[in-house]
């Protein structure tokens, strides 16, 4: 396959052609969902054109669907750094799968058991665990943020005790782009015998996930953040899911990845997930899919950092603007949140939106982050996210628009 370079890839995304008032739309809202390339659109359409059926039947279309699910599981396993597709469950969203998992785990726990969550996390990785406090009497502890928005790892160490059953922690903050130290989290959870659950939703489009190397018990991500359709993905350490009392029907698969999947899956979208992973791999080179993905993420990361840096350099020079999160010398996602004492993020986003520059304002469901940083009362943050199809000229347009909004 000929390798794709980030600079050539824009033609793969039909939606990038859309214009607003004579200018191309700048999709800088990737953390809320990426645009979708042609091979993914084609893979989804192909299912409806040729193979639209249900699984486990004794006729050709059903066998097609069985094959597409098996291939998608195997491809996603490689994407996650897992050995086998049997560790990969699909669902409508990360949030839905996480609630299913928390209910199943919670049936083993009660008063005296503890779960640790963080203030850096999206509500999708907090609410399912907080719910266990109400329903099962589990104690939920929260790891605080340091004043600069990074996760306070000393606090993490204090919150983990012999009573901790699980740490639910993000691999990358969808608000500030911070990337907490997972290796340290694993060492600390292993020392107290707790599970480690990682929310990799925001990490997945930017870096290679490695569930085996990280030694995680559970990991969740969502394909619509990495150029695929709206499908949630749950990885469970081999054998672990079979021990959990999941919500399920007596008529469905009782073992393996199906044990936690509720109802008929969106097979066309699942086919698109496989195509999205193959699409990412097309930016890399190597002897097999995993090597291609590792090389692809190096190249994609380099491009995204270059584009994000050009925005940070310009916007940080504007008087009064605070750029949150560490510099790129530290591992971080190319997701840049800013605030200004005199203008709300909503005002800035509205000005950008009028020019066809799509950026979000507010808390992005990571509301504990904006609350902890004292920003919730001021309308939160203005967030721009940079993906493989974004360009330096889009980053410049955004910085110019922010400057104009602040002068207006
Ligand atoms: C970091 C993070 N975690 C979880 C979620 C929730 O994912 P889903 O929409 O698939 O439930 C999101 C969505 O924005 C996210 O950014």
Q: Where are the alpha helices (DSSP H) in 14-59?
A: 38-50
Q: How many residues does the chain have?
A: 408
Predicted TM-score (pTM) of this structure: 0.98
Which residue has the least CA distance to atom 4 on ligand 1? Answer: 124
Q: Quick check: 1 pLDDT over 70?
A: no
Instruction: Establish whether residue 95 lines the binding site of ligand 1, counting it when its CB lies within 6 angstroms of any ligand atom.
Output: yes
Q: Quick check: 2 pLDDT over 70?
A: no
Instruction: Establish whether residue 124 lines the binding site of ligand 1, counting it when its CB lies within 6 angstroms of any ligand atom.
Output: yes
Q: What is the CATH number of domain 42-281?
A: 3.40.640.10
Contact 21, 357 (CB under 8 A): no
Q: Quick check: 327 pLDDT over 60?
A: yes
Question: Model confidence at 341, in pLDDT bands (50, 70, 90)?
Answer: very high
- 101-152 pLDDT, tens digit each: 999 999 999 999 999 999 999 999 999 999 999 999 999 999 999 999 999 9
Instruction: Establish whether residue 312 lines the binding site of ligand 1, counting it when its CB lies within 6 angstroms of any ligand atom.
Output: no
Question: Model confidence at 296, in pLDDT bands (50, 70, 90)?
Answer: very high
Which of 29, 30, 124, 207, when mutated, tests ligand 1's pocket best, judged by the most ligand atoms within 8 Å of its CB?
A: 124
Instruction: Establish whether residue 199 lines the binding site of ligand 1, counting it when its CB lies within 6 angstroms of any ligand atom.
Output: yes
Question: Model confidence at 298, in pLDDT bands (50, 70, 90)?
Answer: very high
Q: How many CB atoms lie within 10 A of CB 267?
A: 23
Round the average pLDDT of the chain to a whole number and report it: 97
> Which ligand 1 atom is nearest residue 121's CA?
1
279, two tokens: 């699409």
> Which ligand 1 atom is nearest residue 199's CA?
3
Which residue has the least CA distance to atom 5 on ligand 1? Answer: 124
Ligand 1 midpoint to CA 201 (Å): 6
> Which ligand 1 atom is nearest residue 33's CA?
14
Ligand 1 midpoint to CA 34 (Å): 12
- 157-216 pLDDT, tens digit each: 999 999 999 999 999 999 999 999 999 999 999 999 999 999 999 999 999 999 999 999
Which residue has the least CA distance to atom 7 on ligand 1? Answer: 94
- Residue-wise DSSP of 318-378: STT-EE-S--TTS-B-SEEEEEBTTB-HHHHHHHHHHTTEE-EEE-TT-HHHHHHTT-GGG
Ligand 1 midpoint to CA 32 (Å): 8
The two beta strands, 218-222 and 164-170, are: unpaired
- The domain segmentation of the chain, as residue ranges, is 6-37+295-407, 42-281
Which of 222, 231, 383, when mutated, tests ligand 1's pocket best, judged by the most ligand atoms within 8 Å of its CB?
A: 222
Q: Quick check: 286 pLDDT over 90?
A: yes
Q: Quick check: 300 pLDDT over 60?
A: yes
What interhelical angle do 289-316 and 392-407 show, nearest 10?
30
Ligand 1 midpoint to CA 69 (Å): 23
Q: Domain 6-37+295-407: which topology?
A: 3.90.1150
For 383-397, what is the mean pLDDT? 98
Q: What is the pLDDT of residue 306?
A: 97
What's the rounded Cα separation, in Å, for the pair 15 and 94? Answer: 25
- By C-alpha distance, which of 192, 191, 189, 245 is closest to 217? 189
């Amino acid at each position: 396959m000929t390798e794709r370079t980030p600079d050539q890839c824009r033609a793969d995304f039909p939606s990038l052609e859309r214009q607003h008032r004579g200018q191309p739309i700048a999709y800088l809202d990737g953390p809320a969902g990426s645009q979708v390339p042609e091979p993914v659109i084609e893979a989804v359409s192909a299912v409806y054109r040729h193979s639209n059926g249900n699984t486990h039947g004794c006729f050709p279309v059903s066998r097609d669907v069985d094959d597409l699910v098996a291939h998608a599981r195997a491809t996603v396993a490689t994407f996650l750094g897992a050995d086998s597709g049997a560790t990969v469950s699909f669902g409508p969203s990360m949030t839905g799968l996480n609630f299913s998992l928390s209910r199943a785990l919670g049936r083993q726990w009660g008063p005296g058991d503890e779960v640790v969550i963080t203030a850096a996390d999206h509500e999708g990785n907090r609410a399912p665990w907080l719910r266990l406090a109400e329903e099962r009497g589990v104690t939920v502890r929260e790891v605080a943020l340091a004043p600069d928005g990074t996760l306070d790892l000393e606090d993490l160490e204090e919150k983990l005790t012999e009573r901790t059953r699980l740490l639910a922690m993000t691999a990358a903050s969808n608000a500030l782009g911070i990337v907490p130290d997972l290796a340290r989290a694993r060492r600390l959870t292993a020392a107290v015998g707790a599970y480690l659950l990682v929310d990799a939703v925001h990490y997945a489009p930017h870096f290679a996930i490695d569930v085996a190397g990280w030694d995680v018990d559970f990991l969740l991500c969502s394909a619509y953040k990495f150029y695929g359709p709206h499908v949630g993905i749950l990885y469970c350490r081999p054998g672990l899911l079979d021990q959990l009392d999941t919500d399920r029907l007596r008529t469905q698969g009782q073992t393996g990845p199906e044990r936690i999947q509720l109802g008929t899956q969106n097979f066309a979208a699942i086919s698109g997930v496989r195509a999205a992973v193959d699409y990412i791999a097309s930016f890399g080179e190597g002897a097999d899919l995993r090597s291609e993905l590792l090389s692809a993420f190096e190249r994609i990361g380099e491009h995204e950092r270059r584009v994000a840096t050009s925005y940070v350099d310009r916007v940080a020079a504007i008087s009064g603007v605070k750029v949150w999160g560490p510099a790129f010398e530290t591992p971080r996602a190319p997701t840049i949140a800013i605030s200004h004492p005199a203008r709300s993020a909503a005002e800035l986003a509205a000005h950008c939106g009028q020019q066809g520059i799509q950026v979000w304002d507010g808390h992005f469901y990571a509301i504990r982050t904006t609350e902890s940083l004292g920003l919730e009362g001021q309308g939160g943050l203005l967030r721009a996210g940079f993906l493989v199809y974004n360009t330096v000229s889009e980053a410049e347009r955004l910085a110019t628009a922010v400057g104009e909004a602040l002068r207006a």
